Every structure is written in structure tokens, then in C-alpha cells.
Amino acid sequence: MFSIPVVLIAIALGTWQLSRMEWKKEQIALRTDRASASAISFAENYPNEVADPQADEFINVWVEGEFLHDKELIMGARSLDRQLGIQIITPFTLTDGRQILINRGFVPSELKDPVQRPEGQVEGVVKIEGLLRVDGWKGYEFVRPVNDPEDNFWFYTDIKEMSLQTGLSNPVMSIYLDAGPAVNPGGYPLGGQTRIALVNNHLEYVITWYAMALILAVIYFIYHYRPVGKLEDE
């Protein structure tokens, strides 16, 4: 009553991890291919809205327009090479009047105040290259932190709430942009923060669950096995 259900559960979990491993491989390949492709014009390829943000995520695009630095947003709890910091998300007005949020990249905690990095607050029309991203919390729901719009502190991107908080009036794209690795004046924000190479240790889990199922099955067999001679004596 105990062994057989546990063996079946272990086999099921191993099979699930196997499918997760294949999905992770596909995701890494997709991100790598799209991120390494030449950037396409956002204005030309998305003249209206992005019809299917999920399908177009990680496509490399370039946009042209102006940053709205006075509406800068702070996304916290970030680190880079063991250095604590934040990421800067800035609304960007495209030359056609539409607006899109751009994650400009990492900034050390001591440079949180834009006054400390004036060179990076580029003015005028600029051309930015980056990857299309879908907003929302990417982890498990039960550990999702709560954004704090009042203090302008965000743990994850929420385009609707961020747009309301900054008072953006023009149409805001339902997808945002992770800025590429191009160096900003003064060095910060530091772009190119998109996770491309995901951790893929699912093979270890596959081996673990299948091994548990096999070991338990062997123990079950040994425990119940009786040699023919012994059965006759009994």
C-alpha cells in the first residue's frame, strides 16, 4: 500500500523533470537565437501594438525617441557580481508618439539618485537597442513580493501600474524593452541584464527521482522475495 504509490509518484516526478529539462533547453536556444540576431526596427515591425507579446519575447529590436528621465522607476533587490544595486526603468517616447518602458540596466545602490550619474541621463533623440520582454512576476506566486508604487520601488515590472504611477498619457506598449549591452555615458545604467543562459539542472532531478523509484522497487522485491526451496519447507 505504501511502496507502489511512492514508486509511481517518483516515476511521475522524474518524467515531469524530464519534460522541464527539454523545455528549458528550448528556452535557452530561443533566447540565444533571438538575442544574437540583428536588431529590427520596432516602429516598422510593430506599427500598432504587439499582437502576441509572449510569442515575440526576446526579439532584438531598436527604437528611436527620447527618455522621460523625470519619470524614472526603481526596480530593487538586484545584484551584479556580488554588488548590491537596482535596475532603472525609464519611460521612452517613440518618434511616432507612442511610449514604451525601457529597463536601462543595473545601477549600484550608491548611485540610486540620478544626480549621482548625470552623464547617463542622456537627452534628446537617441537610438536604443534591446530585447522585447513581457511584464509580470516570473516566479512562484506564493513568494511574489508586493510592489510599492507610492515609494517608487518595484520588485517586478507591471506596465499598467507603472504607467499609472508615472502619469503617462500616450498609449503605452503592452511589452517593455530590456536595453542591450551598449555602454551608456558615464558607465551607468549598465545594460545587457537579460538572463539568456538559464540554469538547467533538471537532469540531476531526473536521475534522483528515477533512482529513488528503482531503489524502492528493488527493496520491495527483496523484502517479498522467497526462494522456492524455502517456500516448500514452509
Q: What's the CA gap between 138 and 54, in Å, rounded?
A: 13
| Residues 21, 49 within the same domain | no
| Residues 120, 228 within the same domain | no
Helices (H), the chain: 3-36, 42-45, 53-56, 159-166, 202-224, 228-233
Q: What is the pLDDT of residue 33?
A: 93
Show pLDDT as tens, one digit a residue, over the chain (234 residues). Answer: 777 888 888 889 989 888 888 888 988 999 999 999 999 999 999 998 888 999 999 999 999 999 999 999 999 878 787 788 999 999 999 999 999 999 999 999 999 999 999 999 999 999 999 999 999 998 788 888 999 999 999 999 999 999 999 988 777 899 999 999 999 999 999 999 898 877 778 888 889 988 988 888 888 888 777 665 554 555
Q: What is the CATH number of the domain that holds 89?
A: 2.40.50
| Residues 140, 228 within the same domain | no
| Residues 50, 84 within the same domain | yes
Q: What is the pLDDT of residue 6?
A: 85
Q: Is 192 left (phi over 0), alpha (psi -120 to 50) or beta?
A: left
Domain of residue 232, residue span: 1-36+202-234
| Residues 119, 151 within the same domain | yes
pTM here is 0.81
In a domain, 191, yes or no: no
- Total tally of structural domains belonging to the chain: 2
| Residues 148, 170 within the same domain | yes
| Residues 55, 4 within the same domain | no
In a domain, 184, yes or no: no
Which of 148, 179, 210 is at the close of a domain? 179
In a domain, 195, yes or no: no
Q: What is the pLDDT of residue 228?
A: 54
